[in-house]
Amino acid sequence: MIKKEVLEAINEQINAETYSAYMYLSMSAYFEDMGLSGFANWMKVQYQEESAHAIKFFNYLTERGGRVTLKAVSQVPVDFDGIVDVFEKTLVHEIHVTSLINNLIEVAIKANDHASQSFLKWFIDEQVEEEANVEKILQTLKLINGQGNGIFMMDRELGQRVFVDPNAAA
């Protein structure tokens, strides 16, 4: 049975992951409206990943005998100031999610919950990858000043991204 403080913290994280998913879907809609289907695809894959993360937490709680309690998701941003702004906001958000995961593992450590600590290691590694991927895109966008033919090349490249469900391997 999972301890109450860990249960509550993971339920909060499910909400945070769901917010992240909606935020990326909103960013995808923004790019679709701009006619940038590759950028939109990249964000749709992000949406799928964040949704899968929420399910991964959901499944973990039920496996440990905890009750999932879903809460309302806050309104996500819908307007942005261009492509670079979207990825700057994405990086800030991923850094925030990293801090949430770090806080979550601290709760598990204080509760002496070794199973949750082991489970959360996957998310710690995932956040390193998430931040690095966004930083790379942002650096490229800044090199091309977020405009010109480079955007069309990036759009094609980002359109190749495909979703790999982390829960399928579990």
Q: Give residue limits of the domains in the chain.
A: 4-158
What is the identity of the amino acid at 49?
A: E
Write down the number of H helices and E strands in the chain.
5, 0
Q: Taking the model in full, what pTM does it have? A: 0.94
pLDDT under 50: residue ranges of the chain: none
Calpha distance 13→1 (Å, rounded): 19
* Amino acid at the residue 60: Y
Alpha-carbon span 26 to 90, nearest angstrom:
12
> Which residue, among 11, 17, 20, has the nearest Cα to 69 in the 3D structure?
11
Residues 9-24 have pLDDT tens digits of: 999 999 999 999 999 9
What residue type is 3 in one-letter code? Answer: K
Q: What is the pLDDT of residue 104?
A: 98
In this structure, which topology does domain 4-158 adopt according to CATH?
Ferritin (1.20.1260)
Residue 7, φ and ψ in degrees, nearest 5:
-55, -50
Task: Please check whether residue 166 is in contact with residue 52, taking contact to mean a CB–CB distance below 8 angstroms.
Answer: yes
Q: What is the pLDDT of residue 170?
A: 54
